[in-house]
Chains A and B, each alone.
Chain A
Amino acid sequence: MKILVAVKRVIDYNVQIRVKEDNSGIVTDNVKMSTNPPDDNAIEEAVKIKEAGKATEIVAITIGDDKAQETVRKALAVGADRGIHVKADGIIEPLAVSKILKAVVEKEKPDLVFMGKQAIDDDCNQTGQMLAALLNWPQATFASKIDVKDKSLEVTREVDEGLETIEVNIPAIVTCDLRLNEPRYASLPNIMKAKKKPLDQMSATDLGVDTKPRIEQIKVEEPPKRKAGIKVANVAELVNKLKNEAKVI
């Protein structure tokens, strides 16, 4: 069984995001970038499945500028066998990402496609679903547990009501939740070895995909500052304020 894992390079989750002064986007120059955290869970799960003898090959793929290669190398350092870097500049919307992934799936013919449930930069949470639709494959989103069966997967999903367990036939798309596992560290010798693992490069045009944005981004703004809270003296005052000022009861 072959697993394709999509990983994305995003601003590190510890970095405080700053909006550009002209509201045209966010500042990314000299900002620490990392792998999208749930994508780390996706890679980890694929590696675990391979270690359990249930998969034979893991291919990590990313889409982005030259620096996005680092993200694939990181995936190779924690256990992916081979990498693909689809070169594309600028904003690549989920639909374009799905179309690129579809083209790669048709070439690579994996049995499973794993990715994070959403990317922490645009929070779209669309790529997995769109890819499933384009390929007409079953999908299991927000996975927090995956059991590989003979020709299917039993997946526990994190849903609003709690946990939902479903079974999907292989081939399938799985989007991974942070609770799925604890990603391993890349060890120094494995980082060295990863530098020698094969990494194919191609462009979106090579795959026949038009990545032109379909959405026009008008402006990016910081969320409004939260006002400081106040202390009330007693319950009566609280009720009064909720009723007359906040008008919520």
Chain B
Amino acid sequence: MSREVMEYDVVIVGGGPSGLSAAIKLKQLNPETNVCVLEKASEIGAHILSGNVFETKALDELFPNWKELNTPVKTKVTKEKFLFLGKTKSFSWPTWLLPKVQKNHNNYIISLANMCRWLAEQAEALGVEIFPGFPASEIIYNEDGSVKGVATQDMGIDKEGNKKDSFESGIELHAKVTVFAEGCRGHLGKQLIKQFELNKGKDPQQYGIGLKEIWEVDESQHEEGLVMHTAGWPLDNKTYGGSFMYHAENKQIFLGYVIGLDYKNPHLSPFDEFQRFKTHPSIKKYIEGGKRISYGARALIEGGLQSLPQMFMPGALLIGCDAGTLNMPKIKGSHTAMKSGMIAAETIIEHLKNKKPLSIYEEKFKKSWVYEELFAARNVKPSFSWGLILGIIFTGIDQILFRGKLPFTLSHKHADHEALMPADKMPKIDYPKPDNVLTFDKTSSVYLTGTNHTDNQPVHLHLKNPELPISFNVAKYDEPAQRYCPAGVYEVQKENDMLKFVINSQNCIHCKTCDIKEPSQNINWVTPEGGGGPRYGNM
């Protein structure tokens, strides 16, 4: 089947911080470059979810005058707290004893979704063509095996795969260089890593799931600029994770929880841990009487330098968290993602102008401050495989005394999907029922995300082996998909005494956790019809 073709100098897949920064930098370096950005969400920002305490380092370089450009970067961090939570008590860690990477006094509390909307406006003003609602669903290769571009998804296909009256064929976008910037666990990025063995000699990638809610609270509970993190309860010593609470503008609190997807207990439910966390007296007091106005979740990269794949390949670059540039101890990835995109732009300009190979990306990356940051951060996450307490002690030594310069590198030993222990060997967790005041169920939470997928389209969560959830997962792990999915997509139902695995794909909020955590890697997340998924506001 021949599809319509559009030609560009550069096609960027994904309108997040890395992709948009790459697009902007390309136009700044050479306004003649033809650049387009494909985005699967119905609009830029609608699939963006992040804490977010923002370090302006990359933005300072991209727009030195950003303060004059009505940037949505307004709330400066004014106060910081770090709490260790016990079940009812809390212990406040003095901030002077925090490693430098965890100090935020020069940073801002922002909505990354709004930041991306702003970046998109800047990009469009520079002549970048942005196409929201068009997921890149397929990689197109040249005969020599190099990347030629991508194809967008066909629209108007029914559940059985037949063309509807409204059928609209996808098109091919060919480019001199294609930049993949899909974010954590991009479904094309995953294929490229495999195809070009980009992760050869690297540690397995490590992931986390981040859940976030926005609360509107009373003035008396709100301290604009306050940044608070916690570790400890409700997680046990062996599970990596913690919370964030950022007091943003307009009496809003960004409240969230991140759990490493290397958790072992299949009974654990990240969603319910987050809900339970909000009932702690040290947290409750900030949101009691307030109103939850948004909810969302997204997987994030935690592997750092050891797991960072090679970011160049013939005809293409892999940037931001599609590769994995997040700085875990800093709990920040936006500035590094942006910078990785800017380096990509510099690389591409030299490649197009002077025929330099795309491999110069690596040299440029290694000379940049992103590499320096990731190098210093590299030992923190692996040390937490020894548990919270040893992790903290080691991190103190590594980050405060040695500033990340210890003469060895700890490695990540296992992929997250290998971490689960059999259900009968691990304690069951009895999560309290939601009270619909502080804590909620998944259904009412997904409702707040504005998620929708057009009816009557093929299920976009593919099972490699459709029998496996019931024949293997139920007995061994009590089918953990029911719990790790933060949107209630997966259910095990009983029908006439037979167990049935149900996929409510219309609920999917595109977090990618199932693609990562499924113990046999049996779930493959592919792009649904364009414009589907959540409609996040200021997440």
Name A's B-contacting residues (CB within 8 A).
Answer: 12, 14-16, 18, 21, 29-32, 34, 182-185, 187-189, 191-192
Contact = CB atoms under 8 A, between A and B. Distances in A.
Given A14-B535, A21-B216, 17 more contacts: A12-B42, A14-B450, A15-B535, A16-B448, A16-B450, A30-B114, A32-B46, A34-B42, A182-B166, A183-B166, A185-B166, A185-B530, A187-B4, A187-B168, A187-B169, A188-B6, A188-B152
Contacts of B452: 14
B450 A12 contact: yes
Contacts, number: 58
Contacts of B315: none
B171 A187 contact: yes
B447 interface: yes
B53 interface: no
Contacts of A189: 4, 6, 171
A151 B119 CA distance: 52
A178 to B, nearest CB: 13
A68 to B, nearest CB: 15
Given A12-B535, A30-B45, A30-B538, A185 B156 contact: yes
Interface in B22-61: 42-43, 45-46
Contacts of A29: 537-538
In the A-B complex, the 6 residue pairs with the smallest Cβ-Cβ separation, listed nearest first, are A14-B452, A185-B168, A185-B155, A32-B535, A14-B450, A15-B450
A29 B114 CA distance: 10
Given A12-B450, A16-B448, A188-B134, A30 B117 contact: yes
Determine which residue in A182, A183, A184, A188 has the highest number of CB atoms from chain B within 10 A of its CB, and name it: A188
A12 B536 CA distance: 12
* Chain B contact patch, size range: 20 to 34
Given A12-B42, A21-B216, A185-B156, A191 B131 contact: yes
B293 interface: yes
A172 B72 CA distance: 47
Nearest to A12: B535
A74 to B, nearest CB: 10
Contacts of A34: 42
B160 interface: no
Contacts of B293: 18
Contact of A32 (B43, B155, B168): B43
Contacts of B535: 12, 14-15, 32
B109 to A, nearest CB: 15
Determine which residue in B113, B450, B452 has the highest number of CB atoms from chain A within 10 A of its CB, and name it: B450
